[in-house]
Amino acid sequence: MDFPLAPGSTIGILGGGQLGRMLALAAARLGFDVAILDPEADCPAARVAKTAIAAAYDDPEALKTLAEASDVVTFEFENVPAEAVERLLALGAEVAPNARALAIAQDRIDEKTFLNGAGCPTVAFAAADDLGALEAAIASLGAPCLIKTRREGYDGKGQTWVEHAAEAGAAWARVGRKPVIVEAPAAFRRELSVIAARGRSGEIALYPLGENHHEDGILRRTHAPAEVTDRTRDQAEQIAARILAGLDYVGVLAVELFELGDGQLLVNEIAPRVHNSGHWTLDGCEVDQFEQQIRAVAGWPLGPAEPLARTEMINLIGDDMEQWPELIAEPGARVWFYGKREARPGRKMGHVNRLRPLKG
Ligand SMILES: Nc1ncnc2c1ncn2[C@@H]1O[C@H](COP(=O)(O)OP(=O)(O)O)[C@@H](O)[C@H]1O
Ligand SMILES: [Mg+2]
């Protein structure tokens, strides 16, 4: 494949939720066509894409169609089956970010092992594949501790706190008796994240830190740029740069961070994709995370990640979507609605960005 891809080329995207939709909109602005593969024919991204393939992610025929249609394939969520990426590669498709980055981000033990090896601190952790190992891990890390399934958790799902060692059996049942990571608690003061991008020639662009607030395990609000000390910002930038280089990454990646009482940062987890805590960049930065991802995978130079405004991003979850008539009438509110037909509890339906001047 010849990079940079010319306008008129096709970007394939595995996954057609709101992230795929906003990627498709960014791609369209840059003159690209988009092909979406998602099991749901009527998914948010399919409705703004040139081509939508409705099939399971590991469907061989669908992957062949996607590979043939696309000049480069990327993904909008990290639980794409590894076999799907292998098949795309075997078909000669270009896939970015790379398969190793995807595999590492899919497994919480591999992820923290990679992070520590790359010089990025995390909480202490241990792996457990059965109840005996879980009891041993709790004994060595101490209670309270947090247990998470190694794979496939999101929005706080597949996680449970253990207050006393005696609860190991109950906790093991609560997470479905699956292989887990046991984590020491992070005594964090704030949760921050950094959205980072790396292009095909190895250049990087880092967005200012965002400060994130969760409710019921779901991101509720991000405020950016977060007020941080220079030392904290430097540490975040060093962490992001180490991760991008260590994964030989191409694309946008999110790093979720815990800020401890003394300002030190620990990495909570990474997401090998555009991220909800980066939605503020849509209105608050020169080039937003979605355009940045398209630029990176298309082999274009990265754009500036400079903030233009102090931005507060609020997620519209479930019934929050009923506020749409007021939101569209609010002059300062930049609305992003995902076009989902049904507002189920906990479902991300849209978000709104509100901007204030950077200074003052
Ligand atoms: N080791 C920990 N100590 C304290 N809180 C944690 C820890 N790990 C996760 N959390 C809390 O749980 C939330 C969700 O955990 P996370 O690992 O980010 O999973 P998910 O994939 O569901 O986002 C975090 O944003 C944080 O608030
Ligand atoms: Mg998280």
pLDDT value for 312 = 98
Q: Which ligand is nearest to the CA of 191?
A: 1
- Shared domain check, 41 and 176: no
Q: Is the CB of 158 under 6 A from ligand 1?
A: no
CATH number of the domain residue 255 falls in: 3.30.470.20
- Shared domain check, 178 and 299: no
Per-residue pLDDT of the chain (360 residues; tens, 9 = 90+): 699 999 999 999 999 999 999 999 999 999 999 999 999 999 999 999 999 999 999 999 999 999 999 999 999 998 899 899 999 999 999 999 999 999 999 999 999 999 999 999 999 999 999 999 999 999 999 999 999 999 998 888 899 999 999 999 999 999 999 999 999 999 999 999 999 999 999 999 999 999 999 998 899 999 999 999 999 999 999 999 999 999 999 999 999 999 999 999 999 999 999 999 999 999 999 999 999 999 999 999 999 999 999 999 999 999 999 999 999 999 999 999 999 999 999 999 999 999 999 986
pTM over 0.95: yes
- Beta strand extents in 199-250 (DSSP E only): 204-206, 210-215, 218-224
- 209 is written with which tokens? 């830190």
Instruction: State the Cα–Cα distance between residues 95 and 13, nearest whole angstrom.
Output: 10
Q: Which ligand is nearest to the CA of 125?
A: 1
User: What is the position in ligand 1's atom list of the atom closest to the CA of 186?
Assistant: 3
- Shared domain check, 207 and 342: yes
- Shared domain check, 205 and 313: yes
Q: Report yes or no: 149 and 206 within 8 Å, Cβ to Cβ.
A: no
Q: Is the CB of 183 under 6 A from ligand 1?
A: yes
User: What is the position in ligand 1's atom list of the atom closest to the CA of 155?
Assistant: 22
Distance 268 CA to ligand 1 centre (A): 7
- Residue that finishes a domain, picked among 162, 183, 204: 183
Distance 323 CA to ligand 1 centre (A): 29
User: Please, what is the angle between helix 108-117 and helix 99-106, to 10°?
Assistant: 110
Q: Is the CB of 288 under 6 A from ligand 1?
A: no
Distance 112 CA to ligand 2 centre (A): 13
Q: Is the CB of 218 under 6 A from ligand 1?
A: no
Residues spanned by the domain of 134: 124-183
Q: What confidence tens digit (pLDDT) does each residue in 295-315 have? A: 999 999 999 999 999 999 999
- The CA dihedral of 131, 136, 142, 144, to the nearest 10 degrees, is 0
pLDDT value for 253 = 98
Q: Is the CB of 185 under 6 A from ligand 1?
A: yes
- Shared domain check, 342 and 241: yes
Q: Report yes or no: 351 and 330 within 8 Å, Cβ to Cβ.
A: no
Distance 50 CA to ligand 2 centre (A): 31
Q: Is the CB of 256 under 6 A from ligand 1?
A: yes
Number of domains the chain contains: 3
- Shared domain check, 222 and 331: yes
- Shared domain check, 292 and 342: yes
- Shared domain check, 199 and 341: yes
Q: Which ligand is nearest to the CA of 268?
A: 1
- Shared domain check, 299 and 157: no
Q: Is the CB of 154 under 6 A from ligand 1?
A: yes
- Residue that finishes a domain, picked among 183, 209, 233: 183
Task: Flag whether 116 is in a domain.
Answer: no
Closest alpha carbon to 174 in 144, 146, 215, 141: 146
Q: Which ligand is nearest to the CA of 217?
A: 1
- Shared domain check, 202 and 235: yes
- Shared domain check, 40 and 152: no
Task: Flag whether 72 is in a domain.
Answer: yes
Closest alpha carbon to 47 in 73, 17, 77: 17
- 18-45 in b/e burial notation, b at 16+ Cβ within 10 A? bbbbbbbbbbbeeebbbbbbbeeeebbb
pLDDT value for 156 = 84
Task: Flag whether 106 is in a domain.
Answer: no
Burial class (CB in 10 A: 0-12, 13-18, 19+), 355: middle
- Residue that finishes a domain, picked among 47, 75, 95: 95
CATH number of the domain residue 76 falls in: 3.40.50.20
Residue 270 β-bridge partners: 255
Task: Flag whether 119 is in a domain.
Answer: no
Name the residue with the closest Cα to ligand 1, atom 16: 156
Q: Is the CB of 179 under 6 A from ligand 1?
A: no
* Residue in this structure with the two tokens 């608050």, named with its chain if needed: 284
Q: What confidence tens digit (pLDDT) does each residue in 44-71 have? A: 999 999 999 999 999 999 999 999 999 9
pLDDT value for 360 = 63
Q: Is the CB of 161 under 6 A from ligand 1?
A: no
Q: How many Cβ atoms from other residues are within 10 Å of residue 213's Cβ?
A: 12
Closest alpha carbon to 122 in 270, 14, 262: 270
- Shared domain check, 314 and 203: yes
Instruction: State the Cα–Cα distance between residues 290 and 22, nearest whole angstrom.
Output: 6
User: What is the position in ligand 1's atom list of the atom closest to the CA of 185?
Assistant: 3
